[in-house]
Structure 1
Amino acid sequence: MTRIIGESDAGGQDGVTLALLCEEVRGWFDGVPVEQRFVHTELPGLTFIRFCHPTEMGRGLLSPSLCLVLQGSKKILLGKAFTAYGGGSYLLSTLDMPISGQVAEATPATPYLGLRIELDVREIAALIIDMGIEVVPRGAETTGVFVDKSDAELRDAFLRLVRLLKKPEDSAVLLPLVKREIFYRLLKAKSGSVLYQAVVSHANDRGVHQAILWIKDHFKEPMRVDTLAKLANMSASVLHRRFKEMTVMSPLQYQKHLRLLEARKLLLDGSLDAASAAFSVGYQSPSQFSREYRRYFGISPLRDREGLKSREADYE
């Protein structure tokens, strides 16, 4: 099943603001080689993205961030469901999340354009506490990743954020204010309750986040769920259920995804062969590694190594 969110031809004031954002971001790619996909700006955590051609469905690790699509469209696989989203829609993640995705619509004349800001959940939590914000849950969904369509107020806040790049003398004063407005607009959006629950869960479900951090730092090591549950001060069954609610995968699946993504980076670097990459990320059996690599990426590690650089994709 595929959900479709956002339309690239939005009209009215929403469309005007989106067009202005496209113009601003496109300008930062003037003179930049077509193969360069990112421009990292002087505003901390703000990056512009451009793809001139569609990409294959690939896998990567999505960090806490928000990516607003300005032009073109993307498609992600989260759990067992595909979500397609176009101009004016955004993907938001409050945790590090293995994810599959692709740029679906992009041409040299009309490239995919987007902007990305890094998120610090603690900043959003501080806003919730300082302003006494409460968002009534609209459902049981608590996953740390979701897609929604931006409204005129949110797009306007992003436009003011981007324009601060041309007024560096104003950034020190206005950047914190604009970022807080963006967080506020996100909390008040249609999916704001999902973001609110995800942020609150950082305080209420410290155990799950401790488990995620431990796996990230120790994914190469053997892992037992009951030992991880003790670290999280939770029962194994509760940890498994809450972990899957937040990440749409079990702790063991999360670890496996991190191992395979790291192994692919090592293959891309070219310094290790498939067997050495397997051992370096914690696999005891190269044959098991090859089977799981093929299942995960759809190609064997040996065949993947040669053409990996040309197929490398971004999923944020």
Structure 2
Amino acid sequence: MSYTTTTQNRERRLSQLVNQWTEGTNKFETPIAGLTLHRWDSPTPPTSYILDASLCMIAQGKKQVILGEETYTYDAHHFLFTAIDLPIISQIIEATPDQPYLGVILKLDPYLLAQLMLEAHISFQTNDNDRKGVAIGEVTTEINNAFIRLLDLLASPDDIPILSPLILKEILYRLMMSPQGHRLKRIAATGTAGHRIVKAIDWLKNNFAKPFQVEELATKMGMSASSFHQHFKDITSMSPLQYQKRIRLTEARRLLITTNSDISTASIQVGYESLSQFSREYKRFFGTPPSEDLKSF
């Protein structure tokens, strides 16, 4: 059997597993911590949300992710990972009823990654040319096989508590040792600027409705304002204030669509004092005013 045939068989097996567990649903929250499976039978419109630090695999189809001014496109031969939580715009661009989009998302825990670096004695060397916290990488045989074994556990729930942590650790190790792994090491290594940015993002996510001064947050993270601003933008492709604004707008949209909040209430809840400013920034980010966006749903 040729290498190409073997690779195709592995890809087919992964798509069979995702297809099996997502039949009749767009999203399946598996009993394996942090692992979700996704299915779409047609391309989707651009959708804004906060993507947790994650490793994103595609078993079938193609997807596009926009972060700031940059676009990342990946498929069954490539993975996307974000080392930090990011406000993104995503769109499935290849999916049909006969060949649905089949995706796998595994949340990454920076603190678990840090623990793995210590256990495996993985060293970290600064690479100032490549700081971004998001990247596309090539799916290797080892990563693909590990995901197949992980999804195989869904058929034997009693094995999940014992075996899934071992496979998850292997996946994180394979990812960290990949050509893109230095990005994860930058975030996970305790004491690095990347690790401090992770802590800052945690703070922003929990306090996005509150006004803040970049200088004060930088001091809280043990960094100078200029260094904090530069590292934050290098990793997230946006400034701290832009990051806060996108979290606010994404949360406001969620409130408008999934709750009974009116536009004024939603804008206040996410931290806006001016309704007109909220409407302007909402339209600039989502392409339509909140009133029209609400009507479309």
Same fold (TM over 0.5): yes
Q: What residue number does 1:88 align with?
A: 77
Question: For residue 121 of structure 1, what is the aligned residue in structure 2?
Answer: 110
Report the Cα offset of residue 269 of structure 1: 2.5
- Please, what TM-score do these two structures have when normalized by structure 2? 0.93
Question: 1:73 matched to which residue of 2?
Answer: 62
Decide which of 140, 164, 167 is 2:153's aligned counterpart.
164
Which structure ranks higher in relative contact order (CA pairs < 8 Å, sequence separation ≥ 6)?
1
Gaps of 5+ in 1: 1-9, 309-316
Deviation at 1:125, TM superposition (A): 1.6
Alignment partners' CA distance in 2, 1:199 and 1:140: 18
Contact preservation (8 Å) 1:69, 1:90: yes
Q: Is the 8 A contact 1:76 1:100 kept in 2?
A: yes
- How many pairs does the alignment contain? 294
Where does 1:121-160 land on structure 2 (aligned, <5 Å)? Answer: 121-134=110-123, 140-160=129-149
- Distance in 2, matches of 1:171 and 1:272, equals 40
Counterpart selection for 2:265 from 267, 276, 287: 276
Q: Which moved more, 1:205-214 or 1:12-21?
A: 205-214
Deviation of 1:108 after TM superposition, in Å, equals 1.0
State the distance in 1 between where 2:258 and 2:200 align.
29
Superposition pairs of residues 165-184 of structure 1, within 5 angstroms:
165-184=154-173
Q: Residues 62 and 74 of structure 2 are in contact (CA less than 8 Å); yes or no, is this contact kept in structure 1?
A: yes
- Structure 1, 233-242 or 133-142: larger mean CA deviation: 133-142
* Preserved CA contact (<8 Å) 2:83 2:183: no
CA contact (8 A) 2:50 2:87 kept: yes
Q: Which residue of structure 1 lines up, in the alignment, with residue 7 of structure 2? A: 14
- Contact preservation (8 Å) 1:135, 1:192: no
Contact 1:91–1:146 (8 Å) recurs in 2: yes
* CA distance, structure 1, for counterparts of residue 249 and residue 192 of structure 2: 30
Q: CA deviation at 1:76?
A: 1.1
Amino acid at match of 2:31: E
Contact kept, 8 Å, 1:78 with 1:248, in 2: the verdict is yes
Partner residue, 2:192: 204
Report the RMSD for the aligned CA atoms in angstroms: 1.8
Matched-pair contact (CA < 8 Å) for 1:137–1:194:
no
Q: Which residue does 1:314 correspond to in 2?
A: none
Shift of 1:260: 0.4
**Offset of residue 139 of structure 1:** 6.1
Q: String of CA shifts for 1:54-111, please: whole Å, max 9, x gaps.
A: 1112211011221111100001112322121111322212221111110000111110
Deviates more, 1:190-199 or 1:180-189: 190-199
Inter-partner Cα distance in structure 2 for 1:300 and 1:232: 36
User: Normalising by the residue count of structure 1, what TM-score does the alignment of the two structures yield?
Assistant: 0.88
Aligned AA (2:160): S
Match of 1:217 in 2: 206
Change (3 A) 1:227 1:197: closer
Could you list the per-position Cα deviations for residues 169-228 of structure 1 after superposition, in whole angstroms to 9, with x for gaps in the alignment?
33333222211111111122221222222222x532344233222211111111211222
Matched-pair contact (CA < 8 Å) for 1:142–1:198: no
1:294 alignment partner in structure 2: 283
Q: Distance in 2 between matches of 1:87 and 1:11?
A: 14
The AA in structure 1 aligned to 2:97 is: P
